[in-house]
Structure 1
Amino acid sequence: MTEPDQEMPQKSGHEVIRDYLRTLDASPGVYRMLDAQARVLYVGKARNLRARVSSYARPTGHTGRIARMISETATMMFLTTATETEALLLEQNLIKQLKPRYNVLLRDDKSFPNILVTSHDFPMIKKHRGAKREKGSYYGPFASAGAVNRSLAQLQRVFQLRNCSDAMFESRTRPCLQYQIKRCTAPCVGQISKDDYRAQVGDAQRYLSGKSTEIQEKLAAQMAEASEAMEFERAAALRDRIKAMTQVQTAQGINPRSVDEADIVALHLEKGQACVQVFFIRGGQNWGNRDFYPRVGVDVEEAEVLEAFLGQFYDSKDPPRHLILSHEIENPDLMQQALSDKLGRKVTLAVPLRGEKAELIDGALRNARESLARKMAETATQSKLLKGLAEAFDLPGPPKRIEVYDNSHIQGTNAVGAMIVAGAEGFMKNHYRKFNIQGEGLTPGDDFGMMKEVLSRRFKRLLKEDPDRTQGTWPDLLLIDGGAGQVSAVAQIMREMGVEDIPMVGVAKGVDRDHGKEEFHRTGKRVMALRHNDPVLYFVQRLRDEAHRFAIGTHRAKRAKSMGATPLDEVPGVGAARKRALLAHFGSAKAVSRANLADLRAVDGVSDALAQRLYDFFHDRG
């Protein structure tokens, strides 16, 4: 007989799942499986929720991964949708947000750069990343910033479009260096007519749209005309532009004849790891490729991985008209419908078996295999280094997450703190963080005070967002750029916050501040050093140098921004266009601050209300 105060045995996973079947119907929707601590284990979609969930209620017949997931399930959550397509989109969105342990997860989801030709009387050509809010024509995506920069450099040689900002363009009184080296036609000072410049812009846009042959024929005809007219300097300039265009096409490597707009997506699985290669083909031109390493399990199939990748990858990006895949996916019709709805036009999915498209897939698969082999070799090396780090600093085990901190400033101005993160797979750049130093009581150049502020803010946030340390965001090791003083200051902060169980090492320059003679400081222990040829020493140096690089870059960006700032930036309703108009009219922000109400109203684009707001703002300040 069971005692009254004795707890009943907790139901196992498939029994918990079976209890939910009574409340489910045949609607499409999304389900979530959660463990006893309410952590999301898995997010899935279903055409028929009851049928899909019933498959988990069986105690046998599952792969090892699914069996483990079921055994850990304590509760479930459900959300019905109108269609299965909506369920697919919601599923991938939730996976990206919640990062469940048993889902295939795309870990690197940065935006891709584009080339933007702006909307202006004399358009500029430039690199653009992020939301497409600025008016103009966008061409992309390109696989990397380097791919865009190389293309822009060659396009400058061919089409000679301006790349200066509108403010600089409007303030020029004579041609800049770009004109002297034949990279721009100097429309800012009237060296080319508006119509001729527009013709160059049109040629550049046609080229970016894939009509390169047409442009080359046009330039060749113009070169022949110039030669016949004995305009040899003009003919030589046109010859150089044709040569530059040929170099662009040669550098692109793959330029498929039968594919105008597509992403080539190839997957290679090996030993529980995956690599997806994506080649971007636009306008019949190869605009580069990127490799991705989604998180997968040992018993997943290609169809599941590739479908999850496509859903998450195109959740925040516009798909092209065609997707050429290396493997079939589980729900091709559903994915095609979802992507077509997103783009507003038909998107097709294909797994080619022969012809040029199959050759493109073979090339992408080869890249995926080679990239994964390199990644696995690097991971093995990284594991050895982490193990060596644990032995060198008497850590309980190889750290899974190392956080490295550094500060950067010039005599205390534009001070920033930087945090970089490294783990078993190398630098985790999407976890890097920057901190604008806010402490008003800090003495300029007080490195101890800055480090205290950075660490306080970091761990206050951790204690608030992940107090149970279950989300993998807590570090196993802190590396601080500094010696005994820095370590003591940080240790004091950690004690005050009740976080004293995280190992911390201060990395200080040693004798003569030489690279290779670093000293390591730890709380309550003697100063130590590593052999000059120890791989662990080189590893720590790389970590510290990466933190220093990130801190310096963040500081320079902040300083550049502050140098261009004016009091006008603080006035509500004054955007970039009105700021330019005010500065052009008065000559400086100081002159704007001294202007009377009537003069402010005389500026183009400044309404009576804004003029009054400007006048009141500067008078209140005074």
Structure 2
Amino acid sequence: MTDLSSEQAPKKGHEVIQSYLRTLDSSPGVYRMLDEQARVLYVGKARNLHARVSSYARPTGHTPRIARMIRETASMMFLSTATETEALLLEQNLIKQLKPRYNVLLRDDKSFPNILVTKDHAFPQIRKHRGAKKDKGAYYGPFASAGAVNRTLNQLQKVFLLRNCTDSTFESRTRPCLLYQIKRCSGPCVGLISEEDYAASVRDAERFLSGRSTEVQEKLKQQMHDAADAMEFERAAALRDRIKALTQVQTAQGINPRTVTEADIVALHLEKGQACVQVFFIRAGQNWGNRDFYPRVDAEMEEAEVLEAFLGQFHDGKEPPRQVILSHPIENTDLMAQALSDKRGRKVEILTPRRGEKAELVDAALRNARESLARRMAETATQARLLRGLAEAFELPAPPQRIEVYDNSHIQGANAVGAMIVAGPEGLMKNSYRKFNIRGDDLTPGDDFGMMKEVLTRRFKRLLKEHPDREGGQWPDLLLIDGGAGQVGAVAGIMAELGVEDIPVVGVAKGVDREHGKEEFHRPGRRPKALPHNDPVLYFIQRLRDEAHRFAIGTHRAKRGKAVGATPLDEVPGVGAARKRALLSHFGSAKAVSRANLADLKAVDGVSEALAERIYAFFHDRA
């Protein structure tokens, strides 16, 4: 790629855009429009950079949104690419990275879970997997949500009786676990099923996950009839229950298309400047769940622009399916199909059906999008009223756009963590939640003031460093603290030390009886205040405080659980999870590993001579 960026011109608007035309040719590429502070306003792609930029250089003929964007443009940057497809991919990467104000922006970009059937064990495990596909095995998905995976796994365990325990648990069992007792596992850990029979169950599970469910059902029915003919009625009844569970999986999926085997059904509904995109995941001829997305859009945007931007960002980092079926056509169908095909390594079709089963699937997704957006708009209106009420109750200059709520959790000072949750006009902003491992070695165990000081100091020092101009929506308009006058006074002192005294602080105390509904609210230099028992703002604050407490407790438990499972082996360089399991399985305990001689360490599968020497030296040097 060639960087064609030029020096910032002194003018703004279409005149500054006009000044760049002489440096541009007709090659494809990506352009960025920047304001006077060099913040990116917009990222776009072009088949012909010169032609596209010249369209912005005209003083008239633009929509109000584009006209505003042009007026704010003080400079531009350009990157030429070899192909237009490459420009499309680069554009989407830059949008996700820079989050420009005038682009469609997909705000929910969580990874999607899969089902993993492991392949590195004689008795494979079936489990949920999220993230990079590094483990050896067969992956089936994506599923729309963890709930969709869990429901499917729950029924698959009933049908195929595959284990979901970890390898270390499997190796250490001496008798069947509860899952065997409730007929969710065939008990391979204690030899209650042969390796061959278990492998046959694994193959059946993979057939089902590959869309060959009819074949699996017919096989189970035949086995049931054979068992009944042989008067093995208990086995026949067990097979009957497995067939019933398999039918329940298919029934629970709701939509199971006949003519679509692998597709994303993508439907968009726009209303009053807001958008909802509903995606149905069809894999192996089965519905593997649906999820709604609410991309940031402008009221003047049309369906084609929103859907095209959504597709590029949605499939970034995800393998596209064979077909992408849309509710509305997009402008650059061929270009998007080529980009998705390049990502997949096989042909991807983009369709906008008007009749038949595909159109029925789109109608179902579109109905869901319409209903989801209506619910969200109602919730947003309620949230706006609550924020206005909060501003009135505590005399804030305006309804807060970002509320940060802080809490600590520990047991007598051990495994101490701080937690921050965030709420705004659209409710809880879970992507902005943060946890803080308390580092202060000089803190007295249980010193809540000291913990809060560490958390707030770390939080606001980072804000001062990364967002000193307080732009970008990262600075809070209100701090809620779980505590009374003492905590509020301590927080006010901390904020004064950091030079950010202008952020309102409210402490939420339980009141004299420590009951819900009798909370007292403390502010620096003010008398305590109570809200009416049935005030919606009171309930709102209670929910925020309870959510912060839930997040803090969960974070503390996770840290405590990790500490319980920790061993000295975690500190040995080169010993990861797999080698740790091998060492513990071979010796029985970390203490036995620490006492082992060099020859015994070298005898462990997967432990090289160099690693054995490192482990031996680690423990003997420590001694």
TM-score by length of 1: 0.98
Secondary structure of 2:620's aligned partner: helix
Does structure 1 retain, via aligned residues, the 8 Å contact 2:113–2:130?
Answer: yes
Question: How far off its partner does 1:491 sit?
Answer: 1.4
Shift of 1:549: 1.0
Which residue number corresponds to residue 74 of structure 2? 74
Residues 371-520 of structure 1 correspond to what in structure 2 (within 5 A)? Answer: 371-520=372-521
Measure, in 1, the Cα distance between the counterparts of 2:510 and 2:134.
Answer: 47
Number of the residue aligned with 1:102: 102
Letter in 1 for 2:253: Q
Moved more, 70-79 or 610-619: 610-619
Q: Deviations over 1:32-56 (max 9, x none)?
A: 0000011110000001101000000
Using the TM superposition, give the Cα deviation of residue 572 of structure 1 relative to its aligned residue in structure 2, in angstroms: 0.7
- Which runs of 5 or more residues in structure 1 are unaligned? 1-8
Alpha-carbon deviations, 1:406-433, whole Å to 9, x = none? 1111111111111111100011111111
Kindly provide the CA deviation profile for residues 112-158 of structure 1, in whole angstroms up to 9, marking residues without a partner as x: 11111111211111111111111111111111111111111111100
Equivalence map 1:545-556=2 (5 Å): 545-556=546-557
In 1: Cα distance, 2:351 partner to 2:605 partner: 55
Tell me the distance in 2 between the aligned counterparts of 1:484 and 1:418: 20
Matched ranges for 1:237-316 at <5 A: 237-316=238-317
Contact 2:125–2:163 (Cα < 8 Å) also in 1: yes
Letter in 1 for 2:14: H
| Comparing 407-416 and 270-279, the one that deviates more | 407-416
| More divergent stretch after superposition (591-600 vs 60-69) | 591-600
1:59-208 superposed matches below 5 A: 59-119=59-119, 120-208=121-209
Cα separation, partners in 2 of 1:10 and 1:82, compared to 1, 3 Å: closer
CA distance in 2, matches of 1:199, 1:410: 48
Aligned-partner SS, 2:409: strand
Output the CA distance in 2 between the equivalents of 1:603 and 1:213. 45
CA distance in 2 between counterparts of 1:225 and 1:601 reads 51
Counterpart AA for 2:50: R
Question: How far 1:620 sits from its partner (Å)?
Answer: 2.4
Q: Deviations 1:41-72 (Å, cap 9, x if unpaired)?
A: 00000011010000000011111111000000
- Return the alpha-carbon distance in structure 2 between the equivalents of residues 549 and 150 of structure 1: 25
Matches within 5 A, 1:337-352: 337-352=338-353
Report the counterpart of residue 52 of structure 1 in structure 2.
52
Q: What is the distance in 2 between the residues matched to 1:276 and 1:21?
A: 37
Say which SS state the counterpart of residue 406 (structure 2) adopts. strand
- SS of the equivalent of 2:251 reads helix
SS at match of 1:414: strand
Separation (CA, whole Å) in 1 of partners of 2:213 and 2:602: 49
CA shift for structure 1 position 471: 1.3
CA deviation digits over 1:259-305, x for unaligned, max 9?
A: 00001000000111100000000111101100000000011010000
Q: Distance in 1 between matches of 2:160 and 2:53?
A: 59
Distance 1:16 1:525 in 2: 53
Q: Which moved more, 1:424-433 or 1:572-581?
A: 572-581
The CA deviation at 1:489 is 1.7
Contact map agreement 2:12 2:75 (CA 8 A) in 1: no
Q: Which SS does the other structure have where 1:479 is aligned?
A: strand
- Is the CA contact 2:10–2:74 (under 8 Å) kept in the aligned structure 1? no
Q: 1:250, CA displacement in angstroms?
A: 0.7
3-state SS of 1:233 partner: helix
Amino acid in the other structure paired with 1:91:
E
Superposed CA offset, 1:158-215 (max 9, x none): 0000000000001111111111111000111111010100000000000011111111
Alignment deviations for residues 538-582 of structure 1 (CA, whole Å, 9 cap, x no partner): 000111111111111111111111111101011011112221222
Contact residue 46 and residue 87 of structure 2 kept, 8 A: yes
Q: Which residue of 2 aligns with 1:602?
A: 603
Aligned equivalents of 2:188 and 2:47: distance in 1?
59
Task: State the distance in 2 between where 1:588 and 1:213 align.
Answer: 47
Q: CA deviation at 1:600?
A: 2.1
**What SS does the aligned partner of 1:116 have?**
strand
Within 1, Cα distance between the matches of 2:396 and 2:36? 30
Question: Could you tell me how far 1:619 is from its partner in structure 2?
Answer: 2.2
Q: CA separation in 1, counterparts of 2:145 and 2:581?
A: 32
For 1:39, the aligned partner's letter is: R
Q: Which residue type is aligned with residue 30 of structure 1?
A: V
Deviations 1:448-492 (A, max 9, x none): 111111111111111111111111100001111111121122111
Q: Secondary structure at the residue paired with 2:350?
A: strand
CA contact (8 A) 2:171 2:585 kept: no
Distance 1:605 1:21 in 2: 62
Question: 2:42 touches 2:100 (CA, 8 Å); kept in 1?
Answer: yes
Q: How does 1:529-608 map to 2 (within 5 A)?
A: 529-608=530-609
**Amino acid in structure 1 at the alignment position of 2:165:** C
Q: Counterpart of 2:5?
A: none
Hey, which bits of structure 1, 4+ residues long, moved more than 3 A?
none
Q: Which region of structure 1 is more displaced relative to structure 2, 555-564 or 422-431?
A: 555-564
Match in the other structure for 1:357: 358
Indicate the SS of the match to 2:265: strand
The worse-fitting range, judged by mean Cα deviation, of 595-604 and 332-341 is 595-604
Aligned residue number for residue 6 of structure 2 = none
Shift of 1:608: 2.1
Aligned to 1:16: 16
RMSD over aligned Cα, in angstroms? 1.0
Q: How much identity, in percent, do the aligned residues show? A: 82
Residue range with higher mean Cα deviation, 42-51 or 485-494? 485-494
Deviation at 1:10, TM superposition (A): 5.6
What SS is found at the alignment partner of 1:32?
strand
* Aligned position for 1:327: 328
2:107 and 2:586 map into 1 onto residues whose CA distance is 49
8 Å contact kept, 2:143–2:289: yes
What is the aligned length?
A: 614
Structure 1 letter corresponding to 2:220? L
- SS for the counterpart of 2:468 is coil
* SS of equivalent to 1:150: helix
Hey, what's the Cα distance between the residues in 1 that align with 2:147 and 2:272? 32
Specify the SS of the correspondent of 2:454.
helix
What is the letter of the counterpart of residue 115 of structure 1? I
